[in-house]
Each structure stands twice: as structure tokens, then as C-alpha cells.
Amino acid sequence: MEHIRTPKVENVHMIDRLTPRKSTAGTLYLSSTHTIFVENSEARKETWVLHSLVYNVERLPTNPSGSPLLIRCKNFHVYRLLIPQEKDCLDVLASLTRLSRPECYGELFCFSFNPNLDKELREKAWGFIDLKAEFSRMGIPSNLWHVTAANHEYRLCETYPSELFVPKSAFPAVIVGSAKFRSRGRLPVLSYFHRDTSASICRSSQPLSGFSARSADDEQMLHAIMKSNPVSELMYVVDTRPKLNAMANRATGKGYENEDHYTNIKLQFVGIENIHVMRSSQQKLVDVGELPAPSMSDFLWGLENSGWLKHIKAVLDAGVFIAKAVAEDGVSVLVHCSDGWDRTAQACSLASVLLDPYYRTIKGLMVLIEKDWVSFGHKFSHRYAHLDGDPKEVSPVMDQFLECVWQLMQQFPCAFEFNERFLIQLHTHIYSCQYGNFIGNCQKERRDLRLQERTHSLWPHLWENRAEYTNPLYRTDHSQTQGVLKPLTTAYCFKFWKGMYGHADKSVASHQSPADCLNAVREESQQLEEELSAHQEVPRETDAGQETCPTEGEENFRGEEEDQQAV
């Protein structure tokens, strides 16, 4: 509370950018967690903005009607306020600037957020996603893959989960040796096992190969992975970086696998740019959305200039390459980038979405994010600026993954159980710090923060509200739901994601949503089904339903029958 200089400002106006005349007057409140705007109108409509979702606050020059304040959010919402007194505006600015940049984990909203769950329920909620169960769904452990205790207490790799799945044929010494030869100890381990072909997707960081270094253990580790797919004599190593970047890394003693040193590997670069390029690309895209009254050319030129869709295509192309190798060629793939926690997570998880229908369900996507992102040490708190820190660590890595899934939904409208709203909700919570799931940068950090005792889990909350996130066109027995997705990745298949980036303006919002209409229809159908089955529980009604004009005698007879039943 010590950061709030002014808890309440009256006569503030919320301004609609496109139609400034349509501003609404109200009172602005600052709480320790939210900025709240309450309209003066009869309805007392409230707008709540979470401090942790605030990206930045900007004050525009004071004009005769007051001091304008711009609040830009991490979910791309923009609020325009007009505050009558300059002093109040400065106070709000200073308060919000400080409140939106927590300096330590303890200040985060998740530690004060209390949805009134008792201790037992909270613990149960944290068990909602069970990664062991997920591996066993894939058929792991098996006669070729098993869990290793090598990373117990995170002694091998701080940023990996404590339980790792590796080939049975890889001896402990090989595991340790391989970890030593990989950047930050992130050795090759199993991410996804494809039952139909026995091919696997493994992940790691880059090898410490420099210009000539090699490690017999690492070479054996890759060989063991290849051998864990008995039918294949080959294995792909997908380096998700542009080749030039990978080569540059050799000068610092890192780099990529030398094909001559490893038996039967095929190296493939897929050219996803680094986090800095992505950060500036997204900023340019957001700027396009903020252009005042852009022409079509402004918009298309801005879209091109941002490079955003080009990057989205690169990420999806990586996923498509891996999925094809696994499903069509039956070849195992090791995926890495530099550290193996950004591009690697994107590529592995997208390939999994393409390969496995389970990850296209609501629960499945949660499991996938928990596995490929949370447990494998994607640096959520750094990437999504949970704390006031190094701006160079911030990058929309997860945003891109979610967008790739959205682009897939455009091509395969019946293939996903969830809808766009689910993706947007996930995006918001990755930034919001309201739940504990995405706090910290790796499993160890989360354990040390005792998040499971001190915060709540997002997943059960989303699951309870799944009706809101369901795609009406999804049917488990639909052909699109089954098997491997093979999307087209021609440039023209990629669209600007209006639902994510286009809501800086209310007037641009969709007028009618077919999905909402269909959901309403489906809900009604369900009620009708219930009503029908209620009628049909009485045998008389089953028959009567098929007859148009029953004779009087029968009618009476049946009437009696029903009376008896009712008693």
C-alpha cells in the first residue's frame, strides 16, 4: 500500500480512441492489486485492470481538459484516461509505474490472491496435471525408455525437472558426461514419444563443441536415442536457429553437432530468430495496431515491416518438419537451440500438437504447456517480465506458440476442443501472475518459492469454466480430430490475429461470433435432449412420440399406466 499515492481520483474520463466524443466519466481507484474505474452512469460499470498486466504507463502533455494518461497492458488492451488535475495524474502515474513493476516475488499478486479454497482443495488442485501419468499415456516407461534419478535435487541440471526420461541403454556415466557437454547441463532427454512409429522427440541445449571439441558420452547419448527407435537407422538433429547464429556460437565454445562425430545423424537448421528479434518484431506489430486511422496500405506495410508473420511461419515450419520426420519417416528427432528453453520449447510443443490429438483438447493443451514449458525450465518470469528486471530477457516466446496454435485452428476448424478464447485466456494468465503456475523460471525455483503452498493453480480454474472455452465444432469422432495434422504453411495461409492484437479499439471488435451462436444452439440442444429423455423415461411417451393420432382407447389405457408408474 505504501506505493499508492492517491487511492481515489474523481471526475476521470475513460476515452474511446476512435470516437473521443464517446468518453465516459467516472472515478478511478487504485488498490494494491488493481486499477479500478467505476463509471458515474446508472449502471456503475466497473473496469478492473490488474497491475501485473500493465506493460507501461505514459502521460501525454496536459491540455485544457486535463492530463491524459495511457495505460498499455501486456495483453494489448489500451486504456486512455483523462485526469482533471495534473498533480493527480502524476501521482497515479508514479503509483502505477511502481505497482506494475514488482521488485521481488513476494510482491506478486498470486501471493495475495485468495479464491477461498481450503488447504486440501488447493493441494488437490495442484495435482490436477500429472506429468507421470502423461508419460505413461505415451507408453513410457517402456522396455526402451525409463526414468532416471540423475537429476535428483537438480544436481545435474538446475533448470530441468528432477525426473527425466532417457533411453534405458544410456548408462549413468553417459548421462552425466552428456550433461557436461551441453550448455547449462541441459542434456538430451525425452519430450514426446510417438507410439505409432516408436520415434521420439528429444530436447536439449546446444553442445559445447566449439570448433573441434567432442564428447564420447554425448555421442553415445545420441546413439542411444537413435537406437531406442528400433526400426530406424537414422536420427535428425534439428537446430532451430538460423545457421549463421549457430555458427557464431562456435566461437564461444558452443555451437552444433559435427555430423562426422555422431553416427547417422542428420543436422537440419530451421531458422527461428532469437528472442531479441522477436521482441522488437512484436513491438512493431503492436504499434501497427495503435496507428490512428490507418489506411489499408499503412496496415499491410506495417504488418510486413514487423516481420511478425514471417516469424510465426518459421516457428510453425519447425513444428511441421519435426512432426513429419516422426510420423511419416518414423525417425527420432533431437531438437535444440542455444539454451533449449525458448525455440526448442516452441518447436517440440508444436510438433506434439500436430502429432497427437490429445494435445488439441483442453486438458491436453494444459498438460503440454506444463510438460514442455513449465517443467523444462522455460523462463516465464524473465520472458514475461513478472518482476522489474532486464528488459533484454523479455520476449513473446509463448505468445508465438499460442499464435501458431491459433493459425492451425484457422486451417482445421474442427480439430481443436478449445476455442480462441482459451488461448487468449492462457496468454493473459502467463502474464498476470494471478496464479502460481508460471511464476519463476524453472521447477527448482518454484519449489524453493513453495508455490504450491502459497499460491493457487490456474488449471482447475480453467477446467471448471471449460464450457466457455469449448469449440462447438469439435467432435471426438470427427476425422479432423484424429491423426496427424498437415497444415499448409504457404505465406498466404497466415493471418493477422485480430482477437489478440486487434482489440486496442472496441469498435473493431467482432459483431457476431458464429462460435457463440453455435454454442448457444448446442446448449439448447442439450436441454432439449434432457427434456426428451425425461419424457421418454415414461414408456408411454416413447410410443406416443411416434404416433400422430392415437385412438382414444389406447390413450386411456396408457394414461392409467403412467399413473401407476408415477406412484
Dist. CA 91–CA 69, nearest whole Å: 11
In the annotated binding site for substrate, the residues are 274-275, 337-343
Least distance to another protein from the beta carbon of 269, Å? 17
| Residue where the block lists cell 481515489 | 8
Q: Give dist(CA 263, CA 462) in Å, integer.
A: 46
Q: Which residues pair with 141 in a beta bridge?
A: none
Q: In the complex with another protein, which residue's Cβ is closer, 22 or 478?
A: 478
411 binds another protein (CB under 8 A): yes
Three-class SS state of 221: helix
Q: Show contacts with another protein in window 447-506 (CB under 8 A).
A: 472-473, 475, 478-480, 488, 490-496, 498, 501-502, 505
| 19 is a site residue for another protein (CB under 8 A) | no
Question: Is 355 in contact with 333 (CB distance < 8 Å)?
Answer: no
In angstroms, what is the minimal distance from the CB of 426 to another protein?
22
CB atoms within 10 A of CB 528: 10
CB atoms within 10 A of CB 29: 18
- What's the one-letter identity of residue 333? V
Q: Which of residues 287-326 bind another protein (CB under 8 A)?
A: 289, 294-301, 303-304, 307, 309-310, 313
CB nearer another protein, residue 455 or residue 519: 519
Question: Is 564 an interacting residue with respect to another protein (CB under 8 A)?
Answer: no
Q: How many CA atoms lie within 13 A of 247 on its CB side?
A: 5
DSSP E strands, 145-284:
145-148, 164-167, 189-194, 199-204, 235-239, 265-269
Contact pattern for another protein over residues 140 through 159, marking x by CB under 8 A: --------------------
46 lines the binding site for another protein (CB under 8 A): no
The residues, ordered by sequence, that sit 6+ positions from 267 with a Cβ below 8 Å of its Cβ are 236, 237, 239, 256, 257, 259
Under rule CB under 8 A, residue 556 binds another protein: yes
Residue 329 CB, shortest distance to another protein, in Å, is 22
Q: Pinpoint the alpha helices (H) of 393-508.
A: 397-411, 420-432, 443-448, 451-454, 458-464, 498-501
* Residue whose C-alpha cell reads 511478425 in the numeric block: 308
Which residues from 99-128 bind another protein, rule CB under 8 A? Answer: none
CA 298, chain centre distance (Å): 30
Q: Smaller CB distance to another protein: residue 195 or 498?
A: 498
| 566 residue type, one letter | A
557-566 long-range CB contacts below 8 Å, 24 or more apart? 562/538, 565/538
Catalytic-residue membership of 337: yes
- Please pick, from the candidates 21, 507, 551, 553, the single residue that binds another protein as defined by CB under 8 A: 507
Cβ 338 to another protein, closest distance in Å? Answer: 24
CB of 437 to another protein, least distance (A): 31
Q: Which of 314, 329, 333, 307 is nearest to 270 (CA)?
A: 314
Size of the site for another protein (CB under 8 A): 66
Q: Which of 10/555 has CB closer to another protein?
A: 555
**Interface with another protein, residue 554, by CB under 8 A:** no
169 in contact with another protein (CB under 8 A): no
From 89, 157, 202, 337, the catalytic residue = 337
Given 36, 78, 277, 544, the residue binding another protein (CB under 8 A) = 544
Residues 509-528: x where in contact with another protein by CB under 8 A, - otherwise, as a string:
-xxxxx--xx--xx-xx--x
Compare residues 83 and 278 and give the one whose CB is closer to another protein: 278
**Cis bond leading into 141, ω under 30°?**
yes
Judged by the rule CB under 8 A, the positions of this chain that interact with another protein are 289, 294-301, 303-304, 307, 309-310, 313, 411-415, 472-473, 475, 478-480, 488, 490-496, 498, 501-502, 505, 507-508, 510-514, 517-518, 521-522, 524-525, 528-529, 531-532, 535, 541, 544-545, 555-556, 559, 562-563, 566-567
**Which positions are annotated as active-site residues?**
337
